[in-house]
Chains A and B, each alone.
Chain A
Amino acid sequence: MLLKNTYNEFVKILAKPRSYLGIGALTLLIGVILFAMKADGSSFISFVTASFEQTLSFNGNILNGNLIAFIILQMLIIHIPLLVALVTGDLISGEAAMGTVRMLASKPISRTSIVLSKFIAGAVYTLILTVWLGFLALIVAKWIFGTGDLIVLNSDGLVILQEQDIMWRYGLAFLVAFLSLLTISTLSICLSAFADNSIGPIVSTMAIIILFTIIGSLDVSVFDSIKPYLFTTHMASWRSFFEDPIPMSKIIESVVILLAHNVILVVVAIVKFNKKDITS
């Protein structure tokens, strides 16, 4: 029954216009960045490398597809959660708002299966969004800007990664980025189990992301004990794959914390939905 309802969830997601809104918005955003880089990318690069020009000389195609992908990923990892939440935040509460939840919950399918099928469908949608992001950011950018070594500016200074040493890093970086976005998807579905309207969980998800990001960026000791456990602290962990050497223990810690968030949020949603009186 879980598989059958998961299939149902795919049918619903595919038929909803807002599912394509996310893909469309992502395409547009990346299109704008690619256009801007093509039009005036050299001055953007000069601005970044200006402080190193007295000690280093840069030769070759610095503004290449690898760098563009890095810039895109860094810029959009903040905004893509909204596109994810737009679809996943509606998955349970949208049924309540439409009135279909009472038809769904009066069928011989357990409420746990209903919630799990929505999580699976939400995860697949998030994966599709991440793969599309990867395709546009990496494949299309490389096609437009060519390839070359990747120069990354970290807190420790410049890291120069050779062309043949980049793709596997991107592969793993996109996996961790997917896990970050999956946490957003899981959070919004969990909030969706508490609401009976479509917009509430979407807005709440964004509010939580903003709140946690602010807490994470405030240099105040009172928050020091909770910062390591906020999922927003670990959403940029994909970036660690572009350090040299790669801080694997830091990445593993982030992955564990993000996975723990996913598990806890799924359990909370299942418990809540099972206990919920369906009155809508």
Chain B
Amino acid sequence: MEKETVIKVEQLAKSFGSFQAVKDVSFTVGRGDVFGFLGPNGAGKSTTIRCLLSLIKPNAGKIELFGKSYANNRSEILSKIGSIIEKPDFYKYLSAQKNLEIFARISGASVSKSQIGEMLEFVGLAGRGGDKIGGFSHGMKQRLGIAQTLLHQPDLIILDEPTTGLDPQGIVEIRNLILRLKNEQNKTILLSSHQLSEIELIANRMVIINKGKSIVEGEVQDLLNAQELVVHLEIDAVAQAKQVISNHFSTAHFVGETANELEVAIEKNQVPLLNKALIENGISVFALEPKRKLEDFFMKIVQS
């Protein structure tokens, strides 16, 4: 059965004066997708996201959310969306609880104080509801931003760079939170991020945009599997290893080497055989790791 389309963007364009921020962006997000929205700085990601949230009016193109356009359905559409754009900003002179109450009141849903308390607990801010935002760290604000996003139980969650400025533990926490939202609540999530490894770990579909244009869109695994896997080997006999690999794997080729390191482009299903062949030929394998695939893919797309 085909998935219901939650976001449909067609040939979106937006310019500010003579500067064209978005030229031709198109993509589709289905229900339950965790959709990666990738692009280098200045590619037009934030402008596109702001168009999705009706913060910016596009000059051309079509946006449909839940099968409807903003023309006559703005409130209905926005009541189903929770979002963080760039960074969550709050009223510094108010407490976390008061901030959430303010946004809950205009979220289009009835949210009780106890639900706000539960949400603070969900994002790891239990007991901090009475504290003023002015004293919150970036990570705490980010978590509060997620709480604000989820308060009214939205169907679609739009997160623009949600892990920016977070420490490694914070990044893992946000990643786990997103996975919980997908797995436990079947939320549709559009995730814009510079953390390519995050997208690779979380997203099932993605689009890459560059210079205001969408370049490639599809299932993350399909897009990555279409590429060769580069395996980084740390071994004790590089020359002998090259010989073994050449003899056993006709499609493999070498990408780089140092005194005790070798990079081999090889099909994914041949990696276990590669390891086995090296060991059987008396070569010590100290490390065998795939290089970041999405990073390579992304760089290739963007540079082309």
**Chain B interface category by residue count:** 20 to 34
Q: Which residue of B lies closest to A114 (CB)?
A: B106
* With known contacts A103-B148, A106-B83, A109-B75, A8–B105 Cβ distance under 8 A: yes
How many chain A residues touch B (Cβ–Cβ < 8 Å)?
Answer: 26
* A/B pair count, beta carbons within 8 Å: 87
State whether B102 touches A8 (Cβ < 8 A).
Answer: yes
Asked if A104 CB lies within 8 Å of chain B CBs, one says: yes
Asked if B74 CB lies within 8 Å of chain A CBs, one says: yes
**B88 proximity list for chain A (CB < 8 A):** 103
Contact among B16, B50, B98, B106 for A107, CB-based, below 8 A: B106
* With known contacts A100-B91, A102-B85, A277-B56, A15–B98 Cβ distance under 8 A: yes
State whether B105 touches A4 (Cβ < 8 A).
Answer: yes
Asked if B87 CB lies within 8 Å of chain A CBs, one says: yes
Residue of A99, A105, A107, A279 most packed against chain B (CB within 10 A)? A107
Q: How far is the CA of A275 from the CA of B55 in the complex (A)?
A: 10
Contact with B along A78-109 (1 / 0, CB 8 A): 00000000000000000000111011111111
State whether A12 touches B55 (Cβ < 8 A).
Answer: no
**B216 proximity list for chain A (CB < 8 A):** none
Asked if A245 CB lies within 8 Å of chain B CBs, one says: no
Q: How far is the CA of A22 from the CA of B23 in the complex (A)?
A: 48
**B66 proximity list for chain A (CB < 8 A):** none
State whether B106 touches A5 (Cβ < 8 A).
Answer: yes
Contact with A along B79-114 (1 / 0, CB 8 A): 101010111111111100010011101111000000
* With known contacts A100-B91, A102-B55, A110-B74, A4–B106 Cβ distance under 8 A: yes
State whether A108 touches B108 (Cβ < 8 A).
Answer: yes
State whether A107 touches B107 (Cβ < 8 A).
Answer: yes
Within 8 A of A (CB), among B189-248: none
**A4 proximity list for chain B (CB < 8 A):** 105-106
Top 5 nearest A-B pairs by Cβ distance? Answer: A99-B89, A108-B108, A108-B79, A108-B78, A108-B75
27 A-B pairs in the complex with CB atoms less than 8 angstroms apart: A1-B75, A1-B108, A4-B105, A4-B106, A7-B105, A8-B102, A11-B94, A12-B91, A12-B102, A98-B91, A100-B90, A100-B91, A103-B89, A105-B53, A105-B54, A105-B55, A106-B54, A106-B78, A106-B81, A107-B103, A108-B76, A108-B78, A108-B108, A109-B75, A110-B75, A277-B55, A277-B56
Q: Please list the residues of chain B having a beta carbon within 8 angstroms of any beta carbon in chain A.
A: 16, 50, 53-57, 74-79, 81, 83, 85-94, 98, 101-103, 105-108, 148
